[in-house]
Amino acid sequence: MSHTLYLTRNGLLEPLGQSQVFAYLRGLSRDHTITLITYEKPDDWADSARVARARAACEAHGIRWLPQRFRKRPRIISPALSMLRMAWLVWREVRGGRAELIHARSYIPAAVALAVHRLTGVPFIFDMRALWPEELITAGRLRRGSLLHKAIAWVERACLARGAAVVSLTHAAVAHLHHTYPQEFNGQRIAVIPTCADLERFTPASDRPEGPRVHGCIGTVLSGWFRTDWLASWLAVAAKRDASARFEIVTRDDAEQVRQALDPERRVGERLTIGPRAPEEMPEAVRGHDLSIMFYAGGEVSELGRSPTRMAEVLGCGLPVVANVGVGDVAAIINEWRVGVLVEGPEPAQIGAALDALDDLSQDPELPDRCRRAAEAIFSLDAGTEAYRALYAKILTEQHADPVSIA
């Protein structure tokens, strides 16, 4: 079995780490010896029971887990120090013969993988996920043209050119990158693997109880690239139209900050609940909703690369989605499969029109089955795992045919 080193700045203990890292690695571990380096948040790491479960799950699949502590501050220094730590760990693994391929999830791990590749020749996959520099600009955390932006753009260009393969979440992002980096993309191996969900866990409810309509939203809403003003407008209009409606935001964000952003005057009041769920509780949480809302900063370049995890999980549970245009392949999927509604803007009239369309769509008895079929066709974990397995095989076959020497 070949040795693969997987790098991510996300935590294995986070819901995203479970759904978008470990879910794939379970399947890939049948053919590869995997070492996993993650960065765990302090609150997650303090949960000793969850840490023990994660260790046991890794051991059950033969995955060697090297968790690191995630430190958010100081803002510039902490990421730099974590990069140095990651670089040392990767170098150690390569020198020890435990890394024939490096799978780098997102930009900071890819920068580390690029540096080690330049020194050793070990190939790496640039699994870019979204267009991170553009996301930071959209969120107001990075100024276009600044030294930091130029440095990240240089890393992006170099990783696109030197990676053994590039993985994008969306076809929209690939089209943008082809236009932006025609030389780097010339002859590059590119795979589009959208965010996948474990559809054995995210399944439709066997029997939906009668009761008020529950408008759900899962994941962060305080990221800077989520449109809280649109979500606030949706809650206000929907609450006014339907006095029995309930609203639930399942998020790890600070509940009071979320409430202040969405319902500052407490008009929705106790009909709105906000709080986190453990990763193992997420399928049940989603099944408790009747629809799921996801409003991102559509129209920005940053959103071309977004493939919301929540969309895969929601459709897997047979529920429709409410979204906006200009977000990766989201609108194309909604229109092609008729699995939700697109909102044109945050004005009450626009929200009202979308609610009317949702009411009409909800009358379709085939809607739950159609949502599930769309999830299986586009977001299947099995299909995503197989795509990664094929990518690994191609790169490693080439690597074994033309081996490199480690200094």
- Tens place of pLDDT per residue across the chain (407 aa): 899 999 999 999 998 899 889 999 999 999 999 999 999 999 999 999 999 999 999 999 999 999 999 887 777 677 788 889 999 999 999 999 999 999 999 999 999 999 999 999 999 999 998 899 998 998 888 999 999 999 999 999 999 999 999 999 999 999 999 999 999 988 899 999 999 888 999 999 988 778 999 999 999 999 888 999 999 999 999 999 999 999 999 999 999 999 999 999 999 999 999 999 988 899 999 999 999 999 998 778 988 999 988 999 999 999 999 999 999 999 999 999 999 999 999 999 999 999 999 999 999 999 999 999 999 999 999 999 999 999 999 999 988 777 655 55
What confidence score (pLDDT) does residue 404 get?
57
Homologous superfamily of domain range 214-378: Glycogen Phosphorylase B; (3.40.50.2000)
> What dotted CATH number matches 2-196+380-401?
3.40.50.2000
Per the CB < 8 A criterion, the answer to whether 107 and 126 are in contact is: no
Quickly list H helices, 65-208. Answer: 77-95, 107-120, 132-138, 147-162, 171-180, 182-185
Per the CB < 8 A criterion, the answer to whether 268 and 236 are in contact is: yes
Q: Which CA distances in Å does 37 have to 43, 104, 129?
A: 18, 10, 17
Q: Which helix (H) or strand (E) holds 57?
A: helix 48-60
What confidence score (pLDDT) does residue 15 get?
83
What confidence score (pLDDT) does residue 403 get?
63
What confidence score (pLDDT) does residue 405 get?
52
Residue 124 zone, left/alpha/beta (φ > 0; ψ -120 to 50; rest): beta
Bridge partners (DSSP) of residue 380 are 197
What confidence score (pLDDT) does residue 79 get?
76
pLDDT in tens, 120-152: 999 999 999 889 999 899 888 899 999 999 999
Cα–Cα distance for residue pair 367/89, rounded to 1 Å: 48
Per the CB < 8 A criterion, the answer to whether 141 and 149 are in contact is: no
**Quick count: other Cβ atoms within 10 Å of Cβ 326?**
18
Token readout for 108 is 């900071």
Comma-separated ranges of CATH 3.40.50.2000 domains in the chain: 2-196+380-401, 214-378
Q: Which CA distances in Å does 27 have to 11, 13, 182, 281?
A: 19, 18, 34, 22
Q: Which helix (H) or strand (E) holds 65?
A: strand 64-69
Label the pairing between strands 214-218 and 190-192.
unpaired
DSSP conformation letters of 133-147: HHHHHHTTSS-TTSH
Cα–Cα distance for residue pair 122/129, rounded to 1 Å: 21
